Each structure stands twice: as C-alpha cells, then as structure tokens.
Amino acid sequence: MQGVGMRDRDLLSKFILGAIAFCLCVIVAAILLTSDNSALKAAGAIVLLFYFAGAFVSDWVLARQNEKHVEENPHLLKNEAVGETVTASGDFEPQSGTAKGLVILHGAFWKAHCSGHHVPRDGDALLVQDRDGLTLIVAPHKSIGSQADRPESGA
C-alpha cells in the first residue's frame, strides 16, 4: 500500500513541476512575442514550439513507462474481489429483476447487485461473481447458506 502512495506523490510532484514549467514558458514566450524586435518574436514562437514538442515527447515516454509497468505486473489488472465471500449488510431491495444493497468486503462497504430471484437478507453470505466499476455482482454462496436457511436463535 505504501508503494501506491509513493507513486501518487511522484505523479503529483511531476504535475506540479510541469505546471511550473508551463507557466514559466508562457510568461517568457509572452514577453518575447510582445516585443518590438522581430528576432525576439521569433524566439518566443520557438520557445513555445519547443515547449509543446517537449511536453508531447514526455507524455509519450510516461505513457510507455505506464504500459511497461502494467506489462511487467499483470496482477495489477486482476479483479481481486471476484471469488471472495462477502456478507450482506442489511436486506437487499428488489428492483427491476435484480436486488440492490450493500455488502461488506474486507471491512469496507460496497454497493452490490444480486440478479435472479434471490433477495439477500442481512447477514447472508454471498459470492462475488464480477465487478462493474464500484458495484459488486453477487450471488448466493451455496456452501455457506444464508440467514433464511438457518433456524432462528432464541426461539
């Protein structure tokens, strides 16, 4: 987890340095372009041209580095939630052929959809089948069962 934070700080520092370079370049180019001397105007245009060419090349290099990083670490693309067992947090609400509710995955709440005729109840064990953005697609966990299958306690 610490590596992700370091990468974010590196990206933020690169962004800040890029923004500073852009501002300096625009200021220098504006000063040169507004001068009365035609040679200075040409120099201002060249400064802008080199800045934008350099920005294009650096963006391309960064994109290639990111591609190589993902190629070298294919596990980054893996959807690690699929196959996990989650617990329904509250009763799901049936809506248009699916039931929607919240589940708990590793201590965090996630939105979840359960298709079919099953409407999970609070505490039901569910199996993550897929993920659509930040919404988990779940199904009843066959091996564990649900609250509805268990006898009521205290009766």
Each domain of the chain, given as residue ranges in start order, spans: 2-77, 85-144
Question: CA quadruple 42, 43, 46, 51: dihedral positive or negative?
Answer: negative
pLDDT tens digit sequence for 83-134: 889 999 988 998 888 899 999 988 888 899 998 778 899 999 999 988 887 8
Task: Answer whether CATH 3.60.20.10 is correct for domain 85-144.
Answer: no
In the numeric block, the tokens 């040679």 are attached to: 39
Q: Where would I find the beta strands (DSSP E) of 68-123?
A: 85-88, 93-95, 98-105, 108-115
Confidence of residue 7 (pLDDT cuts 50, 70, 90): low
Collapsing DSSP to helix, strand or coil, 51 comes out as helix
- pTM: predicted TM-score of the whole model, two decimal places: 0.45
| pLDDT tens figures, 11-59 | 788 889 888 988 999 999 999 999 999 999 999 999 999 999 988 898 8
